[in-house]
Structure 1
Amino acid sequence: MTLQLRPDCERCGRDLPPESAEARICTFECTFCADCVEGPLAGVCPNCGGNFERRPIRPAGKLQKYPASTERRGPG
């Protein structure tokens, strides 16, 4: 099982491509940008109450076999 690498911030809708160093995830893979996590969310996931970690970057050579999710969850 691999991380979904969701494509956007659930709060503001900012694009978070697989290589983004700005993506943060909680233990349930809720995905937010660093600005939202460090600002309004104050480091606490609004969905589950957990903390966030920097999302790992999948090596480019593995993206073809294990592609990132295209399902957007942000507002809009």
Structure 2
Amino acid sequence: MLEMRSSCESCQCSLAADAEAYICSYECTYCVDCCTIHASRCPNCQGELVKRPRRQEASNESG
């Protein structure tokens, strides 16, 4: 399963599971601004940064 990291690896801003974020094939995670700064390349592995799928936050309602 894809690890949904909760912060950007560059600027450490908070990223909710349903927030727009970008990841490389190693699951390094970046916010939109940092992805743009790094020209869609992971500064760790130089891999392509692609849009991370979003997950809905868990609901506390039973239904």
Q: Does the pair score TM above 0.5?
A: yes
- Could you report, residue by residue, the CA deviation over 1:22-45 in whole angstroms, capped at 9, with x for unpaired residues? x10001100010101112x11110
Shift >3 Å, 4+ stretches: none
Residue ranges of structure 2 left out of the alignment (5+ in a row): none
RMSD over aligned Cα atoms? 1.8
Which of 20, 34, 37 is 2:35 aligned to? 37
Q: TM-score, normalised by structure 1?
A: 0.70
Q: Which amino acid aligns with 2:49?
A: F
Question: Within 1, Cα distance between the matches of 2:12 and 2:24?
Answer: 17
Tell me what 1:12 maps to.
Answer: 11
Larger radius of gyration: 2
Q: Number of paired residues?
A: 60
User: Would you say 1:27 and 2:20 are equivalent positions?
Assistant: no
User: Would you say 1:49 and 2:46 are equivalent positions?
Assistant: yes
Q: Post-superposition shift, 1:14?
A: 0.7
**Structure with higher RCO (Cα < 8 A, 6+ apart):** 1
Residue identity (%): 41
Contact 2:24 2:47 in 1 (8 A): yes
